[in-house]
Amino acid sequence: MLNYPHPDNPQEVSIDFLQRLDCELPVGLFIAQPKLDGRRRVVHKDGKTLTVQAKNKEQQETALPLPGDIMAQLDEMFFKLVKQDNVSIDCEWIGLRPDVEGGSQNQELYALDILRCEGLWLRKVPFVDRLSMLKKIGFPLLPMETNPNLADFFLRQLAYPISEGIVVRRADSGLVLGINGCVDNPCWYKVRHTFVNRVASYMNGGG
């Protein structure tokens, strides 16, 4: 396997941190999406070869392989939708956990970000532009909201049993792409639906 860089991680923060961002920073700076219960996989297309990479090197040897039907979908998407070569797309593989009320056991793969295109690692390309590239390709994306009230977006996700919380990225954020493993992106944040956050959300009118 080629020695590819690793995707970035969001920093874990609290709902109070989101509320401070809402108060202190201009509207339109962030793009938010649900954080679903899944596993990260990066899919690399080089010529006629697809390589599926776990998030970190130490996970690679023990990583669960993608099922055959998803690999067939990847072949379809990467060799029909993705016209560019030497492409790397950061994905989330969901549907691995037992079914929960309101959830689903269907296994699906969604794009989170595009890391490389035509051999160029997109470290300096803003996230909003990378997102536009993914939309043009037509790769399945998780629902995202631009310009939301971040704390309100977090509270709304409590209604969905398969949601673990949210991830927010600055629209102008680039990529770090660690060589030896995943590193935190200073412009990305995640908040989980922990017990403490759920209690705080109800106290703030979330349910």
Per-residue pLDDT of the chain (207 residues; tens, 9 = 90+): 568 999 999 999 999 999 999 999 887 899 999 998 888 999 999 999 999 998 876 566 557 788 888 888 888 888 888 888 999 999 998 875 554 444 445 788 899 999 999 999 999 999 999 999 999 988 889 889 998 899 999 999 888 877 889 999 999 999 999 998 899 999 999 999 874 455 555 455 544
User: What value does the CA radius of gyration of the chain take, rounded to a whole number of Å?
Assistant: 17
Nearest to 114 by CA among 80, 144, 90: 90
Q: What is the pTM of this model?
A: 0.86
Q: Hey, is 27 helix, strand or coil?
A: coil
Domains of the chain: residue spans and CATH: 9-203 (3.30.470.30)
Angle at 58 between CA 55 and CA 60, to 5 degrees: 60
Q: Which amino acid is at 107?
A: Q
3-state secondary structure 84-131: CCCEEEEEEEECCCCCCCCCCCCCEEEEEEEEEECCEECCCCCHHHHH
